[in-house]
Structures are given as C-alpha cells and as structure tokens.
Chains A and B, each alone.
Chain A
Amino acid sequence: MREKILAAIDKNSKLTAKDLATMLGSTEEEVSNIIRQMEEEHIICGYPTLINWDKVQCERVTALIEVKVIPQRGLGFDRIAERIYKFDEVQSVYLMSGGFDLTVIIEGKTLKEVANFVSAKLAPMEGVQSTATHFVLKKYKEHGLPLVEAKKDERMLISP
C-alpha cells in the first residue's frame, strides 16, 4: 500500500486521503495513518509545488555547478556535501559518478548573486578543488511534468 500511495501522490500531492482511499480501495483512516508514518520516517520529505517561474514577473537564475572535492577520511563526501547544501540558495546536491563529484543546483535572483555565491562561498570552501558553473537557459520539464503550456483535450466530445 505504501508504494501505491507514493506512486499516486508522486505527481499530484493535492489528492486527499479520502480520494486516495477510494482510488486505491482502502479506508481514509488507513491511508492517513500510512502517510503520517511515511512523513515521520522521512520517506515523504515535503510537498513542494512545481512552478514555472518563467511565467511570473520575477527574475530568477538557476545554475548547475559541477564540483570536484577532496573526500575526507572517515566521512567521505557527506561532510562537504552537508556544508554545501546548508546554504539556502542551494536547491539540490547530488553525489555523482564520473568526471566530477557533486552536482550542485543553485537558484538566485540575479546572475551576479549566483556568481557571488560560487566565487565567495563555494569555490574557496575547504575541500573544494574546482567548480564549473552552467547557467540554465530554459526549463522544459521537471519532476516528470512538462512546464510548457497545459495540453488541451482535443478529442471529440462524444464518441462511441
């Protein structure tokens, strides 16, 4: 049931426990309990909203930064990753295989703000060897959902 609930709310967290219960053939109480448990266990970590900021009159800059770091003995990459992800500007941090170690996605109001963060905070950080910053020009799809115009239903209204 856990997996079923997660799959159902993965792309639509607005579904109520009542609706989920009907859709999954369960009871409202059971669904609420399972969701609460999963929140406590930090399986469900939050319910953010997917926003296409490009459509809002509000400047935002997103950058993807490839970071090479020196892992610390006994702590590996976790310590440095934590030091990085604690900054509010940082949206995501992933440990990578391949040519660099961490992918850091940061969001700022202006290009300058992002540049500042990289040069003042990230690059000089102890353990950080090098950074390569890529600015995002346009977002097409996020979390499995396209950010372009909502699709219209073009089917005939009635068909056999």
Chain B
Amino acid sequence: MKNPLSKNVVNIKPSGIRKFFDIVSEMKDAISLGVGEPDFDTPWHIREEGIYSLEKGRTFYTSNSGLKELKIEICNYLHRRFNLKYDYEREVLVTVGGSEAIDLAFRAMLNPGDEVLIPQPCYVSYHPCTLLAGGVPVVIELKEENNFKLTKEQLLAAITDKTKILVLPFPNNPTGAIMEYDDLKDLVDVIIEKDIIVVSDEIYAELTYGKNHVSIASFPGMRERTVVINGFSKSYAMTGWRLGYAVGPAMIIEQMTKIHQFAIMCAPTTSQYAAIEALRNGDSDVETMRDAYDKRRRFLVHAFNNMGLNCFEPFGAFYVFPCIKSLNMTSDEFATKLLMEEKVAVVPGTAFGDCGEGFLRISYAYSIENLKIATERIERFVNKIRKNQ
C-alpha cells in the first residue's frame, strides 16, 4: 500500500498540550488550572437568542461571509470599542472561531518560502498553520525583562527579504502581556517601511485590566496591511459556539472568504444569531466578567510572588505566567510532579514555545475558592522542593 499520509502533515509536531492532557485525564480528582476558556456560562440572554433562532427554524446556511446583521454589528462594535472602521459588505468574514480565521489568513497570503514572524510564547496554532500554508515560521523569543512585549529591535533583527507576515498575538496567551499604544507605535514605522502584513490576533481584546486594548490597525497606514482577528469565545464566554471573525482589506478578506466558502461554507447559523445579541446587548456582561477576572488576577499574582515565584504582572487575557527558574527544574518536570504529588494541573510554559522554559501558564478562569485551594497546594509543593534542595 502506498503511504496514505501527507508528509507535510506528518512532519508537524503534535501540540505540547496534548501530551499533558493525556496525563491529566488519567488523574482522578485533580484540580486544574490548565484551561484556556472562561469558567462563566454564556450569558443567558445570548443563549436564549440562540434557542429562539432554533425555535423559529433558522437552521439554514447563511451567506458565506456571515449574516448581514452580524457583520454590521461587528463593524459597529469595532468602531465603538477600538476606533476601527470597516465596510461590512467587503471587509468582514465570520469564521468558525478565531482559529479558522488564523488558518485562512495564512493560506490566503502565503506563497512557498514566505516567512511568518511569530513572537513566542504564544498560542499553539500559528506555527503549524504557517507550515500547512507552505510558509516558513520564524520565531521571535519574547523576553520577561521586556514584560513579554515585542520590541522594535527584536522585530528588526528577525526581518529578512522573505518576511511577509508578522503575527501580533496580544493580549497574549500564555503570558498575559499586552502591547500598549507606545509599544505598538514603535513597531509601526518598521512594519510599513519593510512592507510587512500584520495578522493581529485580538481575541482577548476585551480582557485587559486597567488599560484599554489598542489595535494596531487603528494606526495611520496600518489598516490596509492588517488582518484583525477577533471572536466571541473569550469576551462573551462562548467557546463552544465556535464563532470568530476576521476584518481587513477587501483584497485579503475576499481570498479568505473563497477558502472559507469551499472548506466550511458558513459559520454555524445558531451561533451567529446568538452573537448578534451578544454585540447588541452584551457590554455589561463583558464588564462583569472582566471585573471578576481582575480580582482573581490580583489574587494569583500576589500568591505567586508570596511563594517566592517571581510573577510578572499580566494586564491582559486570563493567565499568569510565573517563573520557576529559581527551583532548578524544567517546566515539564515541575508540572508533572505537581500533578502527581498535589494533584494540581498547570500547563508547562514550553507548550507555547521553547522560550516558555522556566515558566508555567496558570489560568484564572476559576472561582476564587478554587484558586485558593490550588495555590495552597502549589505553595506546599514549592516549599517541599526548596527544603530538599
């Protein structure tokens, strides 16, 4: 029999998270701080709108790029929140989660050999999606001393003649870092001068604390070279609805829509109706959840610093990224032992890139009660290691 598999696919490393997931699943009654999704239920009025759409029999395909009302609401929302202006008819594509939009953006823009700059630690899909689209991933290792922000120097050092796309994954999963106005401003000149296209993954845009999210597309000269990716999963606690979107120049969105049309047809109709409600009447829900995350964030940063595990203050997403280098263990060792000995699951930083070594991703999408128990256990574990050193 011929080898039935594609070399391209076989050569892609499975997600580092997968391995850990398998170990955790075996453990009974482990407490997990390992999820990348909100603990809140989708607000009831949004769910109710989804149910209502089913009752009314709205169970058909929508147009490829999404329901017109939804696209209009997306444009209103982006304008209201981030001062971005897009034409709902030609510059918006509703996708199956932000993940699909990432994949489409690469596939629509990359030619063989084109380089994609990927700042790590970051979400797991940019690297493999680049490879699947025939591109060449070029990793930029973000540094803790820069608060895990991308600096102009790092960007300049990574650019070659083949650089085509820069991925900007901020607010960042797993570090919680954000790029503020001045940080982005530093990059803009370089990006324009070197003629680079930005894929800005802003899925956590609503979850910033004390500082507002700034989109790079709002800078002069950037709108025409940026694809902004966002969605409903994190801000409205709608992960399972699988709904996201991409906005950008019509030329790019058109090609992304072409792939979407042949591969997916359209995003789930029920989810699209629910999402309209989310955008129209969901602002206060977002605020309530953000407020709850903020309290937990402070609690965790404090708890880790108290344990003597240096924890940089994250201003976005719902993760803290404490450093365990002082314990002379790898992230993998720490996470595995912590799970075995104290039954707490955390994700080793290495799951998000090699430069995540020495760090852990701890999610605070859990109740305070849960976080309290978990941090007590982690503290006990850390003290035990220190004693034996």
Query: Across the interface, do A15 and B302 meet the contact criterion of CB distance under 8 Å?
Result: no
Q: Which residues of B contact A19 (CB under 8 A)?
A: 299, 368, 372
Q: Which residues of A contact B24 (CB under 8 A)?
A: 157-158
Query: Across the interface, do B368 and A159 meet the contact criterion of CB distance under 8 Å?
Result: no
**B246 within 8 Å of A (CB atoms):** no
Interface string of A120-160 (1 = CB under 8 A from B): 00000000000000000000000000000000010111111
Q: Which residues of A contact B15 (CB under 8 A)?
A: 160
Interface centre among A12, A23, A158 (most CB of B within 10 A): A158
Query: Across the interface, do B34 and A23 meet the contact criterion of CB distance under 8 Å?
Result: no
In angstroms, Cα B295 to Cα A22, docked, is 8
Given the contacts A159-B34, A160-B124, A23 and B298 also touching, CB distance less than 8 Å: yes
In angstroms, Cα B347 to Cα A160, docked, is 9
**How many Å from the CB of A43 to the closest CB on chain B?**
20
Interface string of B23-45 (1 = CB under 8 A from A): 01100001010111101000000
**How many Å from the CB of A137 to the closest CB on chain B?**
23
Count of interface residues, chain B, beta-carbon cutoff 8 Å: 29
**B123 within 8 Å of A (CB atoms):** yes
Interface centre among A22, A24, A156, A160 (most CB of B within 10 A): A160
**B296 within 8 Å of A (CB atoms):** yes
Residue of B nearest to A20 (CB): B295
In angstroms, Cα B23 to Cα A158, docked, is 10
**B20 within 8 Å of A (CB atoms):** yes
Query: Across the interface, do B36 and A159 meet the contact criterion of CB distance under 8 Å?
Result: yes
In angstroms, Cα B318 to Cα A147, docked, is 28
Count of interface residues, chain A, beta-carbon cutoff 8 Å: 16
Query: Across the interface, do B295 and A158 meet the contact criterion of CB distance under 8 Å?
Result: no
Query: Across the interface, do A158 and B299 meet the contact criterion of CB distance under 8 Å?
Result: no
Which among A7, A23, A156 is the interface contact of B35 at CB below 8 angstroms?
A156
Query: Across the interface, do B298 and A160 meet the contact criterion of CB distance under 8 Å?
Result: no
Query: Across the interface, do A156 and B21 meet the contact criterion of CB distance under 8 Å?
Result: yes
Residue of B nearest to A7 (CB): B291
**How many Å from the CB of B241 to the closest CB on chain A?**
14
Within A1-38, the residues touching B (CB, 8 Å) are 7-8, 12, 15, 19, 22-25
**B165 within 8 Å of A (CB atoms):** no
Query: Across the interface, do A157 and B35 meet the contact criterion of CB distance under 8 Å?
Result: yes
In angstroms, Cα B201 to Cα A154, docked, is 27
Query: Across the interface, do B298 and A22 meet the contact criterion of CB distance under 8 Å?
Result: yes
Q: Which residues of B contact A153 (CB under 8 A)?
A: 39
Which among A7, A12, A22, A160 is the interface contact of B36 at CB below 8 angstroms?
A160
**How many Å from the CB of B195 to the closest CB on chain A?**
31
Residue of A nearest to B24 (CB): A157
**How many Å from the CB of B365 to the closest CB on chain A?**
8
Q: Which residues of B contact A23 (CB under 8 A)?
A: 295-296, 298-299, 368
Given the contacts A157-B34, A160-B124, A22 and B17 also touching, CB distance less than 8 Å: no
**B94 within 8 Å of A (CB atoms):** no
Interface string of B122-139 (1 = CB under 8 A from A): 011100000000000000
**B351 within 8 Å of A (CB atoms):** yes
Query: Across the interface, do B368 and A160 meet the contact criterion of CB distance under 8 Å?
Result: no
**How many Å from the CB of A30 to the closest CB on chain B?**
15
In angstroms, Cα B36 to Cα A12, docked, is 25
Query: Across the interface, do B35 and A15 meet the contact criterion of CB distance under 8 Å?
Result: no
Q: Which residues of B contact A159 (CB under 8 A)?
A: 17, 21, 34-37
Q: Which residues of A contact B123 (CB under 8 A)?
A: 160
**B345 within 8 Å of A (CB atoms):** yes
Residue of A nearest to B366 (CB): A153
Q: Which residues of B contact A160 (CB under 8 A)?
A: 15, 17, 36, 123-125, 173, 351
- Residues on A facing B (Cβ under 8 Å): 7-8, 12, 15, 19, 22-25, 153, 155-160
In the A-B complex, the 6 residue pairs with the closest CB atoms: A23-B295, A158-B34, A157-B32, A158-B21, A22-B302, A157-B24
20 further contact pairs, Cβ within 8 A, besides A7-B291, A23-B299, A159-B21: A12-B368, A19-B368, A19-B372, A22-B302, A23-B298, A23-B368, A24-B298, A25-B298, A155-B39, A157-B25, A157-B34, A158-B21, A158-B35, A158-B347, A159-B35, A159-B37, A160-B123, A160-B124, A160-B173, A160-B351
- Residues on B facing A (Cβ under 8 Å): 15, 17, 20-21, 24-25, 30, 32, 34-37, 39, 123-125, 173, 291, 295-296, 298-299, 302-303, 345, 347, 351, 368, 372
28 contacts between A and B (CB under 8 A): A8-B295, A19-B299, A22-B298, A22-B299, A22-B302, A23-B295, A23-B296, A23-B299, A23-B368, A25-B298, A155-B37, A155-B39, A156-B21, A157-B21, A157-B25, A157-B30, A157-B32, A157-B34, A158-B17, A158-B35, A158-B345, A159-B17, A159-B34, A159-B35, A159-B37, A160-B17, A160-B36, A160-B125
